[in-house]
């Protein structure tokens, strides 16, 4: 059996807001320079607009049909708080502390915000920035042990089910005694720390020549002494008689605490002995509850108290040693000044990082009182429909979420400026110290011992603030002890919730989902449930699971080795070494906490699936390819889909399975179609139009055919109208192999012809626009911009006309009538076979395309590109390319216009629309437009650009990705930062976009560690780490120039990679990944490949490119957002 923790449905540990993206703590290479630099040194092939995501339905059927019904308040003792994404680490030279999201016992509505009460913790003059004073009197019952606490009541009820002789008061009293014993023990421990500080034995003295009095009185001891001896002043506390009195007082206090512990131990023992039926299990249950709810928060407080006492002790000793060296006035003042400045730097750094951690934990200390939003519309009579009300509430919550994050972004930007300013001042002061020292400025030198003591003092200040910061993250954010009200109802909450669980889901229907289910769905369709393969296959051994994970890689390598006739013995040897390595790395047991989370998520997913079916709700990712779910009424969604098919001119019904008048059964009709395709291929082979190898490649094997099926994605680009985008699957269809070959044949040639009028991606577009406007200075004050979006990109023309256009294109551009080994006529014949035999199922009908082909097939995009290249010549006739910039990226066109007025250009384009009605498009003309997520403006001949966000599209949302989600988002963050600096003319816009990107990742569950390592790597690529917080426009312009050169080089690398793919020298492998050190395996795989094939004529790294990727087992999209096809060949 797979080594996972077995947990029953009733005891699965629940948690709130914990669906974060786990940092792979078992993979030490994940944030190494070698791994992070891979993005900058490698490129990826272009993808289609809609990539097809494979789904294994047989695996899904293994999920248990268990619905989880949860109370809004879950027992905190059952949360999985120990599963943290990373241990304490912090920004810059040390580490970034990365924590998990916290549990909240009360779900506060996102539509209202609490007013934040200022406490000592918010006082800039308070060096500790904490409030850890006692909040309960000696015999006061802690709030978590009262009958008002639901978790406590539930525990009591469960324990008393079979023990009628024991009362709730008995158990409450026992819990109170347990709490008191542990709480007093912690008081005793800190009192011992105080005594050691007072007697000078808190830490071991260093072996140096500077001897000082090591007795240090903590502030708490001074307060205690002053309260017991009112006549004592603060100036008397270190006198000999006071030292004795102080030690005596502390020892008396220790005796009192020992007596109190003994008192409560005796009370607890007596209580246990007096109860009939009280068991050891009951005792352990109460102990765990008290530990989780009462002792853990106290432990955090006392751990910080201890750390502060130690830091203060060491700081005082360092100061005494410094003064013992008899520093001059300059040496005294510089140490004082640098210490104060370091304190301010550390405080500002921690404030900044706490803001970011707050976003990760969905909490903020920023007041939202300034946000003004009206809810009066919710009672509008026009919204009496429940669905309309739900739409309004969802829209309101989303807008409020964006406004809150915008406000937090502003606070983070201000905190960054403060931190950068203070750090620069400190660095300047320290630099001046060293300059004076080196230049032997009179009375401004520093002896070695003073420098050493000063460095230790500065380190102490940093460590002190680190501990305070870690405490605040633990106490207020990760565990939310202030919010859970563990100890006292009057304890102040310093943080408020940023967003509700549903605010990042587009909800268009009344739904039954609870907060936990919505939290999971809010992670979006790209979210990969933890260790799903292990939990889904829990009845199989770990060895069998590892074999399934390795199987794709084994299959791909087998095919490659057979193709290139690799020696069988070598073949076997490589496989053995690879599999042994894979098994060794990926057979490790899953940590218990992660296993429990995985089981919980699995059950939660199944409960969502059951509710979707029961309440007739459809869940889909959105057509804009963003990582966000749309939730709507399934019946209404399907009605809209039916209307789309009924009115569309792009498809015809070929076969209705339910029609009793069908001449042939469905399977027989499909058989005839396949035989017809194969017969035509046979004719092409007989006439030697295709050789025998191609014939074998194209021939259709009915046993390996999967019928494509149609599904729809919601398009939300129009604020008031929901439209649908059809997606037709294509893998393993009758025309799939033929389409792959034709695309491999046509695309490289077409790309060469189209290159001068094409943009390869967003950065290529902005690079060319920058050259046009800034370097070549062709932008005039009167220059207009025009953008065109083709709305029927995949269904431009009927099949005959499309084949004719491709044929004419080849005739006009080829030197002969052949492209490689195929004549133009053969290509036309193969295109005829491809276009006329694309079918798909929807419900119980078979449809065929009358225009275009499936939008998941790369060939469809290639054909459309060629067709639009011919069509756009009508525009290019009017555009002087020596003056203007013209380019197209897939379905979008951008060009500049100086020839005439906007009205004349509008008239010209409308005439073009009228003459070529088959090409449907939207246009925008003006001095400011948006194109490929860029806002472009002509400011009297000066180009201004920045990142553009469509107001109708979701903000603070990541794109939808497939494959290995975390790796994809790692690459996308680098890409987005590079795009931002290329798009943004002004440094202010870039810094705003950078903060926006950081918040987007944090609010979507990516750790501070993940974000910080990536952002730092981006700036360090050109050794420009200071640019991260700089607002100097000149420095930014120089930094931006470096990235323009980078994307030009990257464009060349992309062309080289595409050429390798076109010449069959690019080999891409993958394996299934759920848990384990994938970065290490990928590294070892490359080393093994180099070892065996460095001299191979084809497979050496000099002759080919090897790409190895991990792929996740399933995402939420494949689990919840995709339907199983209704018809199969077996029907």
Q: Summarize the chain as % helix, strand, coil (round to 5).
A: 55, 10, 35
Q: Is 685 exposed, middle or buried (0-12, 13-18, 19+ CB in 10 A)?
A: middle
CA distances from 447 to 330, 441, 655 (A): 12, 13, 93
* Interatomic CA distance for residues 577 and 315, integer angstroms: 56
3 state SS for 1091-1131: HHHCCCCCCCCCCCEEEEEEEECCCHHHHHCCCCCCCCCCC
Looking at residue 22, what is its pLDDT?
A: 82
Looking at residue 228, what is its pLDDT?
A: 73
Looking at residue 721, what is its pLDDT?
A: 82
Q: Please answer whether residues 223 and 293 qualify as being in contact, where contact means their C-beta atoms are separated by less than 8 angstroms.
A: no
In sequence order, what DSSP letters do the residues of 952-989 get, joined into one string?
A: TS-SS-PBP--SSHHHHHHHHHHHHHHHHHHH-SSHHH
Q: 875: part of which helix (H) or strand (E)?
A: helix 873-876
Q: What is the dihedral of CA 411, 417, 422, 425, to 10 degrees?
A: -170
| 38-51 exposure pattern, b = at least 16 Cβ within 10 A, e = fewer | ebeeebeeeebebe
CA distances from 254 to 62, 134, 247 (A): 60, 17, 11
At a CB cut-off of 8 Å and minimum separation 6, what does 968 contact?
526, 961, 962
> Any idea which residue has 């709730």 for tokens?
168
Helix, strand or coil for residue 936? strand
Looking at residue 631, what is its pLDDT?
A: 95
At a CB cut-off of 8 Å and minimum separation 6, what does 708 contact?
728, 729, 730, 733, 838, 839, 840, 841, 854
> Any idea which residue has 């396949």 for tokens?
674
Looking at residue 52, what is its pLDDT?
A: 64
Looking at residue 32, what is its pLDDT?
A: 82
What is the DSSP-derived secondary structure letter of residue 798? B
The total of other beta-carbon atoms located within 10 Å of residue 223's CB is 11
Q: Which residues of the chain have pLDDT under 70?
A: 1-18, 25-26, 51-138, 229-238, 374-387, 483-493, 719, 1125-1131
Helix, strand or coil for residue 1066? strand
* Interatomic CA distance for residues 374 and 930, integer angstroms: 30
CA distances from 700 to 705, 829, 854 (A): 8, 16, 18
Looking at residue 669, what is its pLDDT?
A: 85
Helix, strand or coil for residue 888? strand
Q: Is 369 exposed, middle or buried (0-12, 13-18, 19+ CB in 10 A)?
A: exposed
What is the DSSP-derived secondary structure letter of residue 115? P
What is the DSSP-derived secondary structure letter of residue 626? B
Helix, strand or coil for residue 81? coil
């Amino acid at each position: 059996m797979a080594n996972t923790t077995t947990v029953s449905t009733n005891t699965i540990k629940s948690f709130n807001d914990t669906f974060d993206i786990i940092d792979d703590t078992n993979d030490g290479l994940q944030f190494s320079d070698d791994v992070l630099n891979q993005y900058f040194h490698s490129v990826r092939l272009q993808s289609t607009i809609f990539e097809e995501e494979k789904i294994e339905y047989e695996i899904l059927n293994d999920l248990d049909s268990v619905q989880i019904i949860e109370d809004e308040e879950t027992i905190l003792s059952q949360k999985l708080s120990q599963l943290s994404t990373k241990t304490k680490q912090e920004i810059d030279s040390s580490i970034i502390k990365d924590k998990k999201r916290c549990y909240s016992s009360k779900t506060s509505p996102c539509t209202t915000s609490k007013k934040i009460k200022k406490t000592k913790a918010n006082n800039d003059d308070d060096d500790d920035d904490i409030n850890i004073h006692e909040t309960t009197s000696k015999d006061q019952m802690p709030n978590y042990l009262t009958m008002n606490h639901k978790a406590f009541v539930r525990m009591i009820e469960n324990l008393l089910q079979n023990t009628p002789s024991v009362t709730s008061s008995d158990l409450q009293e026992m819990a109170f005694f347990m709490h008191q014993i542990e709480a007093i023990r912690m008081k005793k421990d800190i009192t011992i720390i105080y005594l050691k500080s007072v007697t000078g034995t808190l830490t071991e003295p260093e072996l140096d020549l500077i001897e000082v009095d090591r007795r240090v009185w903590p502030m708490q001891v001074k307060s205690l002494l002053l309260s017991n001896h009112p006549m004592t002043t603060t100036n008397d506390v270190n006198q000999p008689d006071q030292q004795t009195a102080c030690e005596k007082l502390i020892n008396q206090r220790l005796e009192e605490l020992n007596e109190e512990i003994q008192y409560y131990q005796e009370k607890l023992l007596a209580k246990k002995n007096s109860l009939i039926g009280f068991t050891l299990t009951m005792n352990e249950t109460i102990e765990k509850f008290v530990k989780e709810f009462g002792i853990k928060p106290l432990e955090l407080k006392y751990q910080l108290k201890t750390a502060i006492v130690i830091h203060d002790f060491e700081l005082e000793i360092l100061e005494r040693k410094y003064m013992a060296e008899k520093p001059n006035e300059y040496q005294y003042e510089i140490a004082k000044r640098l210490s104060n400045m370091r304190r301010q730097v550390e405080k500002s750094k921690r404030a900044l990082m706490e803001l970011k951690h707050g976003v990760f934990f969905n909490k903020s200390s920023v007041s939202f009182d300034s946000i003004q939003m009206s809810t009066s519309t919710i009672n509008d009579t026009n919204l009496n429909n429940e669905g309309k009300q739900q739409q309004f509430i969802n829209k309101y919550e989303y807008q409020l979420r964006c406004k809150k994050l915008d406000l937090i972004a502003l606070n983070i930007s201000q905190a960054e400026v403060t931190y950068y300013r203070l750090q620069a001042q400190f660095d300047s002061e320290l630099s001046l110290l060293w300059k004076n020292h080196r230049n032997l400025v009179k009375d401004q030198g520093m002896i070695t011992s003073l420098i050493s003591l000063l460095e230790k003092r500065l380190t102490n200040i940093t460590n002190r603030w680190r501990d305070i910061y870690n405490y605040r993250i633990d106490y207020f954010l990760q565990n939310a002890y202030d919010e859970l009200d563990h100890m006292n109802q009057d304890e102040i909450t310093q943080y408020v919730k940023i967003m509700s669980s549903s605010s990042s889901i587009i909800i268009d229907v009344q739904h039954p989902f609870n907060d936990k289910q919505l939290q999971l769905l809010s992670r979006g369709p790209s979210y990969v449930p933890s260790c799903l393969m292990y939990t889904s296959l829990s009845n199989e051994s770990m060895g069998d699971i590892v074999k399934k994970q390795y199987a794709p890689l084994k299959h791909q390598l087998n095919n490659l080795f057979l193709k290139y006739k690799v020696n069988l013995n070598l073949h076997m040897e490589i496989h053995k070494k690879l599999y042994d390595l894979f098994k060794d790395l990926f057979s490790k047991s899953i940590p218990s906490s992660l296993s429990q989370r995985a089981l919980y998520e699995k059950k939660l997913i199944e409960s969502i699936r059951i509710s979707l079916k029961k309440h007739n709700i459809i869940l889909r990712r959105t057509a804009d390819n963003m990582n966000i779910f749309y939730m709507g009424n399934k019946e209404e969604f399907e009605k809209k889909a039916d209307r789309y098919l009924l009115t569309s001119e792009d498809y015809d019904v070929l076969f209705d399975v339910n029609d009793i008048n069908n001449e042939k059964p469905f399977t027989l009709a499909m058989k005839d179609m396949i035989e017809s395709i194969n017969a035509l291929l046979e004719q092409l082979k007989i006439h030697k139009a295709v050789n025998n190898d191609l014939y074998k490649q194209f021939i259709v094997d009915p046993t390996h055919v999967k019928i494509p099926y149609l599904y729809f994605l919601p398009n939300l680009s129009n604020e008031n109208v929901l439209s649908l985008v059809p997606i037709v699957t294509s893998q393993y269809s009758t025309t799939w192999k033929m389409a792959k070959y034709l695309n491999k044949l046509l695309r490289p040639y077409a790309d060469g012809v189209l290159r001068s009028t094409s943009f390869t991606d967003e950065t290529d577009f902005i690079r060319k626009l920058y050259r046009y406007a800034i370097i070549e200075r062709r932008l005039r004050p009167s220059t207009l911009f025009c953008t065109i979006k083709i709305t029927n990109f995949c269904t431009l023309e009927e099949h005959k006309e499309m084949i004719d256009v491709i044929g004419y294109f080849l005739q006009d551009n080829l030197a002969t009538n052949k492209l490689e080994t195929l004549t133009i006529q053969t290509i036309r014949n193969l295109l005829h076979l491809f276009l006329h035999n694309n079918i798909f199922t929807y419900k119980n009908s078979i449809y065929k395309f009358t225009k275009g082909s499936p939008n998941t097939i790369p060939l469809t995009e290639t054909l459309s590109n060629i067709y639009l290249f011919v069509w756009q010549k009508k525009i290019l006739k009017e555009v002087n390319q020596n003056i203007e910039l013209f380019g197209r990226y897939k379905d979008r066109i951008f060009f500049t216009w100086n020839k005439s007025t906007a009205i004349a250009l509008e008239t010209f384009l409308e005439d073009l629309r009228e003459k070529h009605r088959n090409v449907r498009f939207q246009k925008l003309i003006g001095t400011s437009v948006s194109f490929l997520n860029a806002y472009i403006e002509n400011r009297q001949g000066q180009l201004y650009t920045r990142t553009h966000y469509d107001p109708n599209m979701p903000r603070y949302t990541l794109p939808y990705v497939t494959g290995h989600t975390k790796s994809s988002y790692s690459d996308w963050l680098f890409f987005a930062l590079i795009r931002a600096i290329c798009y943004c003319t002004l440094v202010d816009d870039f810094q705003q976009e950078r903060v926006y990107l950081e918040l987007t990742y944090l609010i979507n569950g990516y750790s501070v560690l993940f974000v910080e390592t990536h952002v730092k790597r981006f700036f360090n690529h050109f050794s420009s780490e200071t640019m991260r917080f700089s607002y100097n426009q000149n420095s930014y312009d120089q930094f931006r120039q470096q990235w323009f050169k980078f994307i030009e080089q990257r464009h060349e690398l992309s062309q080289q990679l595409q050429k390798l793919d076109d010449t069959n020298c690019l080999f891409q492998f993958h394996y299934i990944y759920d848990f384990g050190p994938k970065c290490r395996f990928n590294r070892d795989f490359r080393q093994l490949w180099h070892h065996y094939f460095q001299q191979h004529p084809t497979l050496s790294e000099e002759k080919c490119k090897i790409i190895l990727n991990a792929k996740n087992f399933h995402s939420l999209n494949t689990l919840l957002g995709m339907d199983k096809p209704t018809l199969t060949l077996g029907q």
